[in-house]
Amino acid sequence: MYAIPLGDDGAELRPLEPWQAAEFLAHVDRGREFIGQHNALPDVVTDLASSRAFLQAYAERAAADTGRLHGIWADSTLVGAVIFRVMDIGQGNAEAGCWLEPAAAGRGLVTRAVRVLIDWAVEERGIHRVDWWVSAENEPSIAVARRLGMTKDGVLRESYRYRGKRHDEEVWSVRAPEWRKARQAS
């Protein structure tokens, strides 16, 4: 397995695979309430079997080149993940996402990890546009989109029903030429 360093603090980005279901479940359990504020993952991953099934689904997406799931490890502990929930190589579009447990928040881990993912998608897979769909109430995730240089495309009013409430979703994006230009400038 490979690990990509996310800076000089020892954090790493690694693929998450079905054999890591117990570690993944422990991570979700540590962050269940925090992650669940805006993300349905804690409602899906509730036990070892559902943890393994979730990871297996992403292993199948990776094999089909339609999605990816990578964990973020800090101090040798799985603390979050970044995903391409959707990848359409033919159309050149992908939708990125993330989650993080509270102990790891505020360290820039998600921003650094998503940069690696977008670099790979643009340069290796020919993705032209990366979307970032986020609850309008999720300020930390919106801040990630801004730090990544994404543009806010719009708001889908009350488009997302979650835990009995309708939420507005913001759609942010970055296109490959913008991404490359920003990377060259930095």
The candidate with the shortest Cα–Cα distance to 39, out of 113, 135, 109, is 135
Contact between residue 82 and residue 13 where contact means Cβ atoms under 8 Å apart: yes
Q: Looking at the 3D structure of the chain, how many domains does it have?
A: 1
Structural domain of 144: 4-185
Distances (CA, A) of 156 to 147, 148, 152: 22, 21, 11
**Side chain identity, residue 161:** R
Contacts of 94 (CB under 8 A, 6+ apart): 84, 86, 87, 88, 121, 127, 129, 130, 131
CB atoms within 10 A of CB 114: 26
Alpha helices in the chain (DSSP H): 21-35, 41-44, 48-64, 109-125, 139-147, 176-185
CB atoms within 10 A of CB 34: 16
Contact between residue 132 and residue 115 where contact means Cβ atoms under 8 Å apart: no
CB atoms within 10 A of CB 179: 23
pLDDT beneath 70, residues of the chain:
1
Q: Is 29 helix (H, G, I), strand (E, B) or coil?
A: helix
CATH number, domain of 91, equals: 3.40.630.30
